[in-house]
Amino acid sequence: MQKKILLVGDFGVGKSSLVERFVYSRFSEEYKSTIGVVISKKELNLEGLVLKFLIWDVAGEREISEVPASYYLGCSGLLFVFDLTRPETWVGMSQRLETIRQMSKSDNIIVVGNKSDLCEPSQIEQVLDKIGVRVDAVTSARSDDNVDRAFHELGRRIVND
Amino acid sequence: MAKVQALDREINDEQRLAQQVGPILEKRIAELQETFPERFGPVITETLKVQIKESQDDVVEAISPIITKSLKAQIKDSQDEVVEAIYPIMGKLIKKYIQKEIAKLSESVDARMRQMFSFKGFWQRFIYRVKGVKESEVVVQGLLPPVLEEIMVIENDSGLLLANYSIGSNTDPDLVAGMLTAIKAFVEDAYSKSEQDLEYIEYETFTLYLQSFKSFYIVVAISGVLNQAFKDRLNDAVLGFAVKIAEDQNYRSDQRAMQSLLEHHFHEVND
Ligand SMILES: Nc1nc2c(ncn2[C@@H]2O[C@H](COP(=O)(O)OP(=O)(O)O)[C@@H](O)[C@H]2O)c(=O)[nH]1
Ligand SMILES: [Mg+2]
């Protein structure tokens, strides 16, 4: 079974780094802006079921609303990524989630707070309290924390859909 | 004696300079070569050569100063700006144009470099990297007979590969299918007023033909020069295949069946 998934979220939150970590098991410090769209492929094993993800990492410095509508077409689920250290990446979260839901016509959205390595546990708690929506995973692409789990969680949601 | 020493120093300086600048330039060129394909995925660089229709000349004229400027800046800096500049207009923007600009740029660098150094080997490598092909390959291209290299059946919205048939490409067809779908979406957004489908893309010695059907599209990659007989065989194969799929919905859920149907219809196109 193969599925298209999409990563969305503000510029610099770590979308490409999460893909890099998940697909290639590496992290690069170097700042890279994603150009256009980068598609990667990775197979997940979900309790015996092999799921092939085609991961669309959509570009750049654009607002979520500026992701070309056609990129959402045919996607089975999304990771919505924000940066735990930058409030501007998660304010108005529920509104943004609604926009994404409408654009993608998908309810399989995993909300991911990234860069946990830069935060104290208490800070993370505070952010999660303030955010007002359920955060499904707190990750660090850098220290490889929960990255696999976030993608697997999305896989499970898609399979059970 | 002093003259000889001065000359010696000059030569040495030049060589030192060459040693310093050479690698930097090489690195930049390598990056230019590498980051384009890497970031756009393996196909895009080469596939940006979507045909410009006459009406697009205005667009090209309007963006050309920006591109030229950023292309120049990019030899010094990074290529992010260029690509960012190209990105929003990618649908209308076209490899022919980018190629021309890169060629111009490389020619001017060429000229300057030639004045500075006379490393023939270095220079040749540079040219090959910029062009990404060997001159000899370009020359014979016009004489090659048409060969069907690859066919992909791709789901319209998701870009997921439904079936493919290849005579030995080493690119990952899943990724190519996704990237093509992204390009196609871009181009079609750009042309949405005229409701035009992207029909073909040329790159290097290949032409990709795209045929859209209701829920999928078919991409045929051909190398060499197309002739009418080949075109006819190809059209027959594409339509024959598509009709079968339309007639029997079961193919949509049975990838293996679709795969063998594809092979059945296309194995005779290359005679
Ligand atoms: N400390 C830390 N930095 C990260 C993490 N993930 C990404 N980054 C950095 O954040 C910046 C933006 O990451 P990138 O993946 O390009 O973000 P994108 O624009 O969402 O694709 C880069 O400098 C990354 O190195 C993380 O988990 N921890
Ligand atoms: Mg990115």
Write out the DSSP string of B176-230.
Answer: HHHHHHHHHHHHHHHTGGGTPPP-EEEETTEEEEEEE-SSEEEEEEEES---HHH
Tell me the pLDDT band of B44, cut-offs 50, 70 and 90: very low
Establish if B175 belongs to a structural domain: yes
Q: Which ligand is nearest to the CA of A11?
A: 1
Answer with the residue of higher pLDDT: A101 or B147: A101
pLDDT at position B234 over 50: yes
Tell me the pLDDT band of B233, cut-offs 50, 70 and 90: confident
Alpha carbon A108 to its chain centroid, in Å, reads 11
Q: Is the CB of A150 under 6 A from ligand 1?
A: no
Establish if B77 belongs to a structural domain: no
Cβ < 5 A residues, ion ligand 2: A 15-16, 34
A61 touches chain B (CB under 8 A): yes
Separation between Cα atoms, residue B45 and residue B86, nearest integer Å: 12
Lowest mean pLDDT among A98-102, B43-47, B97-101, B173-177: B43-47
Decide if B209 contacts B195 (C-beta within 8 A): no
B53 and B99 fall within a common domain: no
B155 and B182 fall within a common domain: yes
Radius of gyration from C-alpha coordinates of chain B:
23
> Residues B100-127: pLDDT tens digits?
444 455 455 444 444 443 334 444 444 4
Burial of residue B172 (CB within 10 Å: 0-12, 13-18, 19+) is middle
Separation between Cα atoms, residue A125 and residue A130, nearest integer Å: 9
β-pair partners for A110: A79
Q: What is the mean pLDDT of residues B32-38?
A: 52
B158 and B223 fall within a common domain: yes
Contact B90 A54 (CB under 8 A): no
Contact A61 B84 (CB under 8 A): yes
Q: What residue type is A132 in one-letter code?
A: G
B237 and B182 fall within a common domain: yes
Q: Is the CB of A118 under 6 A from ligand 1?
A: yes
Domain that holds residue B12: 2-65
B55 and B10 fall within a common domain: yes
Residue whose CA lies nearest to ligand 1 atom number 19: A12
Establish if B71 belongs to a structural domain: no
pLDDT at position B68 over 90: no
Of B10, B33, B65, the last residue of a domain is B65
| Alpha-carbon distance B82 to nearest alpha carbon in chain A (angstroms) | 10
B130 and B153 fall within a common domain: no
The residue to which tokens 């770590």 are assigned: A14
Separation between Cα atoms, residue B46 and residue A118, nearest integer Å: 40
Of B143, B174, B190, the last residue of a domain is B143
Answer with the residue of higher pLDDT: A84 or B70: A84
Q: Is the CB of A14 under 6 A from ligand 1?
A: yes
Establish if B230 belongs to a structural domain: yes
CB pairs under 8 A between A and B: 73
A1 touches chain B (CB under 8 A): no
Establish if B31 belongs to a structural domain: yes
B183 and B219 fall within a common domain: yes
CA–centroid distance, A77 to ligand 1, in Å, is: 22
Q: Is the CB of A12 under 6 A from ligand 1?
A: yes
Establish if B271 belongs to a structural domain: no
DSSP string, B226-256: --HHHHHHHHHHHHHHHHHHHH-THHHH-HH
pTM of the model: 0.65
Separation between Cα atoms, residue A138 and residue A135, nearest integer Å: 7
Chain A residues near residue B90 by CB distance under 8 angstroms: 36
Classify residue B54 by its DSSP letter: G
pLDDT at position B167 over 80: no
B52 and B110 fall within a common domain: no
Q: Total structural domains in chain B? A: 3
Classify residue B171 by its DSSP letter: S
B153 and B239 fall within a common domain: yes
Q: Among A155, A160, A156, A161, which residue's Cα sits nearest to residue A42?
A: A155
Domains and CATH numbers, chain A: 2-160 (3.40.50.300)
B155 and B262 fall within a common domain: yes
Q: What is the mean pLDDT of residues B149-165?
A: 90
CATH number at residue B173: 3.30.450.70
Q: Which residues of chain A have pLDDT under 50?
A: 31-35
Q: Is the CB of A140 under 6 A from ligand 1?
A: yes
Burial of residue A29 (CB within 10 Å: 0-12, 13-18, 19+) is exposed
CA–centroid distance, A36 to ligand 2, in Å, is: 9
Establish if B73 belongs to a structural domain: no
Give residues with Cβ within 8 angstroms of B52, minimum separation 6. Answer: B60, B94, B96, B97
Of B94, B120, B143, the last residue of a domain is B143
Establish if B76 belongs to a structural domain: no
**Does residue A107 sit in helix, strand or coil?**
coil
Q: Candidates A6, A10, A13, A17: which one to mutate for ligand 1, based on the most atoms within 8 Å of Cβ?
A: A17
Separation between Cα atoms, residue A135 and residue B19, nearest integer Å: 53
B261 and B152 fall within a common domain: yes
Q: Which stretches within chain A are classed as H helix?
A: 15-24, 69-72, 93-104, 121-131, 147-160
Contact A54 B179 (CB under 8 A): no
Decide if A97 contacts A65 (C-beta within 8 A): no
pLDDT at position B8 over 90: no
Question: Hey, how many other C-beta atoms are within 10 angstroms of the C-beta on B182?
Answer: 25
B238 and B185 fall within a common domain: yes
- ipTM, two decimals, is 0.81
CA–centroid distance, B123 to ligand 1, in Å, is: 38
> Residues A67-90: pLDDT tens digits?
778 888 999 999 999 999 999 999
Look at residue B249 in the predicted model and tell me its pLDDT.
80
Candidates A6, A33, A54, partner chain B, best to mutate (most B CBs within 10 A): A54
Tell me the pLDDT band of B53, cut-offs 50, 70 and 90: very low
Separation between Cα atoms, residue A137 and residue A153, nearest integer Å: 9
Give residues with Cβ within 8 angstroms of B224, minimum separation 6. Answer: B141, B144, B145, B146, B147, B205
First to last CA, chain A: 14
Phi and psi torsions of A48, nearest 5°: 95, -20
